[in-house]
Amino acid sequence: MTRNPFQAADTVYMVGIKGTGMAALAEILVARGLSVTGSDVAERFYTDRILQNAGIAYIEGFDAANLPDDVDVVVYSSAYDRSIHPELVEASRRSILCIEYTEALGAISREAFSVGVSGVHGKTTTTALVAALVRAHQSPGTVLAGSALADVGGRSTLIQGRDFLVAETCEYRRHFLRFAPAAVVITNVEADHLDYFADAADVEAAFVEYARLLPRSGTLIACADDPGAARVVDAVIRERPDLRIVRYGASAAGPYRIAVTSRASGMIGFTVGDLELELHVPGDHNALNTAAAIAAFDTLPGVTRDADLTRRAIAGFSGTRRRSEVVGTRNGVTVVDDYAHHPTAIVTTLAGLRSFYPGRRLVLSFMSHTYTRTVRLLDELADALTGADELVLHDIYASARESRPDGVDGRILVDAARARGVDARYVPDPIAALPMLDELLRPGDLFVTMGAGNNWELAHEWVAAGSMAVGGGGQ
């Protein structure tokens, strides 16, 4: 798609409007003067509040009759099949332009200088850190992240102007190839989404394709410490010597080299180049994400980074939803939720939490995501889970994009973890583990729910149950 479908539009209807990216796009379109409505399932999400606060009306449930008479463009989530979804079928019957979310984001990216933040993991936090810098410097651009940003009232967008766009972009099904980047950030590259990609080499090939989209003299920002990202850079520069290559990390030279200088309970101190910084979210990997964010910010047109504003922005950064998010405390137990579901992310997140909360027993509830990932990365997942002291495992969280193979459920990961000496309990339904937690957890513990499934509900329910017990029965 070469033209922007929103330039001549007045009204937009969004199918699957509660999705994180969809709700963020809805906010951006409303900020640009368009009338936006949509539909989604009745299930409650954090985006319900975002949409309601933005005054965006939506219908719960899908029906051809939901589609308004005066719609110029329909945007739909890739979770829905255009050929059978009733609202999309009706839109096609009426010859209304229908585009996927990634196409819509790509169209907006062509309007201004755009930075695509990519990587198998780390891209959400990196994008959120860019948002913190943009906000601190009052820079006139827009940032779109793949989760709720605590620093901007729990929204997934920061909208301060239209001079530039910084957006999280996803490699799954090569969706990021619809984005039009002037600069690309690559945090890391390794095997994932193996229901789509054949292997790690196929994933790397997708990132090479993405970098090829950069215009002449465009900027490619990549983690020097990640072997996959380094291989992508090597492949790209052989074809595109015109590109400006910016490397960051402990093994990088120059202004984006990082060095961790101190660790204490609740804090990590580090340098990015000559700049001394403090970060109050867990994990050395977030020093890497900070360096990536600073490098991305430095590419933006018309901005000049101020050292003091940068220090304050990083020190004040409070993270994003489901990224080492503190849910609450109960009976002396700190409860944290995290989205990590790839073995590398699990290892780095658990290590970061141990450093951030030293001396605590770490009790982990983990829910593996997709049958393909669990089977293909079983040994790596089991090895990663040895970073917990106590382990509660659940059934595999299924994806609509695949069906359960015969004989595959959460017990295969339980067996693999036990073979490595981990005391693993198996409770297929996360909420059914609530009574067990009352016996398992003790004051001083760190209880972590982790994964891309729905076991995050266990963390919230256990904390809420403690509040109810303290509060008493009431009327």
Q: 370-408: per-residue pLDDT in tens?
A: 888 899 899 999 999 999 999 999 999 887 677 788 888
Residues 130 and 87 in one domain: no
Closest CA to 384 of 415, 416, 338, 410: 416
Q: Looking at the domain assignment, is residue 4 inside a domain?
A: no
pLDDT interval class at 73 (50, 70, 90): very high
Q: 103 vs 15, 43, 50, 56, 155, CA distance in Å?
A: 14, 26, 22, 21, 22
Q: What is the CATH number of the domain that holds 269?
A: 3.40.1190.10
Residue 251 falls within a domain, yes or no?
yes
Tens-digit pLDDT profile for residues 162-191: 999 999 999 888 999 999 999 999 999 988
390-393 and 362-367: which strand pairing?
Answer: parallel
Q: Out of 297, 315, 333, pick the residue that ends a domain.
A: 315
Q: Is the domain of 130 the same as that of 237?
A: yes
Strands 390-393 and 424-426: parallel
Res 474 pLDDT > 60: no
Lowest-confidence segment of 130-144, 188-202, 289-303 by average pLDDT = 188-202
- pLDDT tens column, 330-345: 999 999 999 888 898 8
pLDDT for the residue numbered 471: 41
Cα 17 to chain centroid, rounded? 17
Q: Please say which residue of 268, 286, 315 terminates a domain.
A: 315
Q: How many CB atoms lie within 10 A of CB 308?
A: 8
Q: Is 353 contained in some domain?
A: yes
Mean pLDDT over residues 113-136, rounded? 95
Q: Which position has the higher pLDDT, 46 or 87?
A: 87
How many whole angstroms separate alpha carbon 432 and alpha carbon 187? 37
Segment 142-153 shows an average pLDDT of 85
Given 315, 350, 380, the domain boundary residue is: 315
What percent of the chain is modeled with pLDDT above 90?
Answer: 77
- How many CB atoms sit inside 10 A of residue 10's CB? 12
Q: Which residue's entry shows tokens 């090939």? A: 205
Comparing C-alpha atoms, which of 398, 393, 372, 371 is closest to residue 382?
Answer: 393
Q: How far is CA 181 from CA 116, 166, 261, in A?
A: 6, 9, 34
**Are residues 51 and 33 located together in one domain of the fold?**
yes
pLDDT band at 40 (very low <50, low <70, confident <90, very high): very high
Instruction: Summarize pLDDT for 240-292 with one digit per residue, the tens.
Output: 999 999 999 999 999 999 999 998 888 899 999 999 999 998 888 899 999 99
Choice between 79 and 108, residue whose per-residue pLDDT is larger: 108
- Residue 343 lies inside a defined structural domain of this protein: yes
26-46 average pLDDT score: 94
Question: What pLDDT is attached to residue 270?
Answer: 97
Same domain, 368 and 342: yes
Q: CB burial class (10 A; 0-12, 13-18, 19+) of residue 359? A: exposed
Give pLDDT, residue 400: 67
Backbone φ and ψ for 325, nearest 5 degrees, come out as: -80, 125
pLDDT at 214 over 70: yes
The kind and range of the H/E element at 22 are helix 20-31
Q: What is the CATH number of the domain that holds 400?
A: 3.90.190.20
**pLDDT tens for each residue of 369-379:** 988 889 989 99
Mean pLDDT along residues 311-322: 88
Is the same domain home to 188 and 333?
Answer: no
402 domain-assigned: yes
pLDDT at 94: 97
What percentage of the chain exceeds 70 in pLDDT? 97
- Among 67-71, 196-200, 447-451, where is mean pLDDT lowest? 196-200
Same structural domain, 305 and 193 = yes
DSSP character string of 245-305: EEEEBTT--STTBEEEEEEETTEEEEEETTEEEEE-SS-THHHHHHHHHHHHHHHSTT---
* Per-residue pLDDT tens digits for 218-237: 999 999 999 999 999 999 99
Q: What is the pLDDT of residue 468?
A: 53
**Looking at the domain assignment, is residue 189 inside a domain?**
yes
Partner residues linked to 272 by β-bridges: 258, 275
Could you tell me the pLDDT band of residue 108, with boundaries at 50, 70 and 90?
Answer: very high
Q: For the chain, how many structural domains are there in total?
A: 3
Query: Residue 22 above 60 pLDDT?
Result: yes
CATH number at residue 33: 3.40.50.720
Supply the pLDDT for residue 4: 84
Residues 298 and 438 reside in one and the same domain: no
Asked if residue 27 lies in contact with residue 159, where contact means CB atoms within 8 angstroms, the answer is yes
Q: Identity (one letter) of the amino acid at 374?
A: T
474, part of any domain: no
Which pLDDT value is given to residue 151?
78
Instruction: Indicate if 362 and 454 belong to the same structural domain.
Output: yes
Residue 70 pLDDT more than 50? Answer: yes
User: Do 366 and 284 belong to one domain?
Assistant: no
| pLDDT score, position 470 | 40
Q: Taking all residues of the chain, what is their mean pLDDT, rounded to a whole number?
A: 92
The answer to whether residue 73 is domain-embedded is: yes
Residue 467 banded pLDDT, cuts 50, 70, 90: low
Whether residues 447 and 395 share a domain: the answer is yes
Range of the domain at 227: 112-315
Q: What local confidence, expressed as pLDDT, does residue 472 receive?
A: 39
Task: Kindly state whether residues 378 and 239 are assigned to the same domain.
Answer: no
252/369 same-domain check: no
Residue 239 has pLDDT above 90, yes or no: yes
